[in-house]
Structure formats: C-alpha cells, structure tokens
Amino acid sequence: MKRIALLLVAVATLAGVVAYMAPSSGQAGGEAAPIFVTKIPPGYRDWRLISVAREEGDLNDIRAILGNDQAIKAYREGKLPFPDGTIIARIAWSYDPSEENNKTFGRPQSFVAGPPKNGVQFMVKDSRKYASTGGWGYAHFDDGKPADEAVLKTCFPCHQAIKARDFVFTRYVP
C-alpha cells in the first residue's frame, strides 16, 4: 500500500509539473518577447517562509514571501544564481489594527494580517524559457486570474535594479 501511495503521489506531482510547465504564452517564435507565468504553482501556500515585509503607500499591506524547496535550499546555502525550478511566492494581506491584541497589550501597537490583498505574485526560474527577463518568469494573480501582460511587463524593469542578487529583492531571514 505504501508503494502504491508513493507512486500515486509521484504521478500526481509529475502531472502537476507537466501541466505547470506547459507553454504559458500563445506567442510562436517570439524569442525576444518576454514570456509570463499564467498558472498558479500548486501548493505554494504550504511552502516555507523566506521573509516578511510591510508596504505602506498605495499597496498598504503586510506580506510574506515563501519559497519552494529549491528556493529555500539556494537561500540557505547562499548560492546565486538561483537554480532552474526555483519559485518564489509573494502573498499579501490587508494591514489591520488588532483591537483584540491592543486590549491585551494595553495600548494600540498591534497590526495583523486581514483579508488577502494585492493579489499573489510569483517569480519562476527557468533560465532558457525566461531568458529575456533575466531567467525569471513573472506572475500576478488577482482572485486566481492572471494579470494582463501589460502589468507583467512592469516587473522586470524594476527587478533589474537588483541584478547582483539574481533579480530577487527579498533576503532570507533566519
């Protein structure tokens, strides 16, 4: 039974990967045109934590950056560039004051994650497929729907600022 279960897991995982690696763009032969990620990587909410952050301004959220196994391994070993197969996820939530916590602390000081906000974003490393954008495919999903290519085209220009760390802003925190 164990062997069958393992086999089933392996097949299911493979199926997921194959579905995931399927061409994500309808472009034919446009080698220089950026290609984006249009499927949500399965199971990302179970990935391990890379770091957390808070964005003020228009974003006004609190966020967590998670990584798949390849991402966590590369971060912990301090190896750059990230290997193909690395995926980094950014989840974000409303930045909400917690009355409950504040009551306990005896003063207003506590902010917690509220409802999901500002969508979910991914960077997927495939140095050949995404060669025109530093080896990374970019994705943004709102309520499960991928953002327009016009939106995704704004990702790489900003990430270029951090080319020295393989285009990844977030640092791993222990």
Residues of the shown chain interacting with a copy of itself in the complex, contacts defined by CB under 8 A: 45-49, 51-57, 59, 62-64, 66, 93, 95, 98, 100-101, 103-105, 107-114, 116, 158, 161-162, 169-171, 173-174
Integer Cα distance of 42 and 44 in angstroms: 6
CB of 26 to a copy of itself, least distance (A): 30
CB closer to a copy of itself out of 26 and 115: 115
The secondary structure element, H or E, covering residue 99 is helix 99-105
CB closer to a copy of itself out of 72 and 129: 72
Count of C-beta atoms within a 10 Å radius of residue 90: 22
CB of 86 to a copy of itself, least distance (A): 17
CB closer to a copy of itself out of 23 and 108: 108
**CB distance 172 to 76 below 8 Å:** yes
Q: Which residues pair with 64 in a beta bridge?
A: 52, 91
